[in-house]
Structure 1
Amino acid sequence: MFTNTTRVEIQFGDCDPAGIVYYPNYFRFFDNATAAMLSAAFAMHKRNWLAHYGIAGIPMVDTGARFIRPSSFGDVVEIRSEITELGRSSFAVKHSLYKDGELAIEAHEKRVWVVRGEDGSIRSAPLPDEVRTLLSQSA
């Protein structure tokens, strides 16, 4: 299925007083990596694919991570993101974060394709066939 790699340079503000990345910031990195992966798959910026597909977003309904090695200010890490599952209205993503070529974090997330109802509420919607095709392809 579709994969994409993003690079992140760890900034001073990403770190805690011990000088290592404060763990919630990794989830921010992963959120950005998912958006970058979908932007690559759809060949358009996130603001454009949100409008193009008429969706309210792709909220996360499950996430988790296994932390193996820390990262520090100035490190450049690579996040390999890949679609691992396509459901009716959801998809799963695996993130593998590498530091100096070694696996540092394994993370997962499940996202739901949502649209906004006339009353402003959000509800899940089936993945469009075009989206399913694009996310099923190898990058």
Structure 2
Amino acid sequence: MSQSAPDNVPAEVYRYSYHMGFGDCDPAGIAYTGALVNAALRAIDRFLGDVTAGRGWYAMSVSLGAGMPFAHLDVDFVSPVRGDADLDFTVEVTRLGQTSIGFRATGWQRSEACFSLNSVNVFISRGEGKQPLPDWLRAALAPYLA
């Protein structure tokens, strides 16, 4: 049974679910901090792939010769995440700048926000460095701007 984000989260917010397994937790069944960051980054990557017709972080790097390295990353923890349960995410775009994008991935269990990861990523082209956001990326992300 999935324990999802509350129903009052707007429909236009992207949702993703990740099962917290044995390797994600300590012997007491509490998720490791690194596992939570990894799961949140997976949620953002899945979001990118889904809203850009398959152009997530990996595809951007390999197929397009572009990337979005991190300029900033922070995590705020509210309550422990338990293992052997789904960790549901909501993903929002918090900023669409000239060359950068802000994301927020919030992890939920039992309809309770457990943590939020905020990132700022800069769009780059391999060999050319920082570039303005391409129109296709801006158009895909604009509907998710919080």
Alignment TM-score, normalising by the size of structure 2: 0.81
**8 A Cα contact 2:20 2:83, kept in partner:** yes
What do residues 99-125 of structure 1 show as CA deviations (whole Å, max 9, x unaligned)?
A: 0111111221111111111xxxx6211
For structure 1, the residue ranges without an aligned partner over 5 or more in a row are: none
Using a 3 Å threshold, how does the CA distance of structure 1 residues 137 and 49 change in structure 2: closer, same or farther?
Answer: same
1:129 matched to which residue of 2? 135
**8 A Cα contact 2:105 2:116, kept in partner:** yes
Alignment TM-score, normalising by the size of structure 1: 0.85
For structure 2, the residue ranges without an aligned partner over 5 or more in a row are: 1-11
3-state secondary structure, aligned to 1:20: coil
- Equivalent of 2:33 in 1, 23, 29: 23
| CA RMSD between the two structures | 2.0
**8 A Cα contact 1:71 1:99, kept in partner:** yes
The aligned length equals 133
The residue identity in structure 1 corresponding to 2:85 is D
Cα shift at 1:79: 0.7
The 1-side partners of 2:118 and 2:40 are apart by 9
1:69 matched to which residue of 2? 79
1:56 matched to which residue of 2? 66
**8 A Cα contact 2:93 2:144, kept in partner:** no
The 2-side partners of 1:107 and 1:58 are apart by 16
The 2-side partners of 1:75 and 1:23 are apart by 16
Give the share of equivalent positions with the same residue, in percent. 25
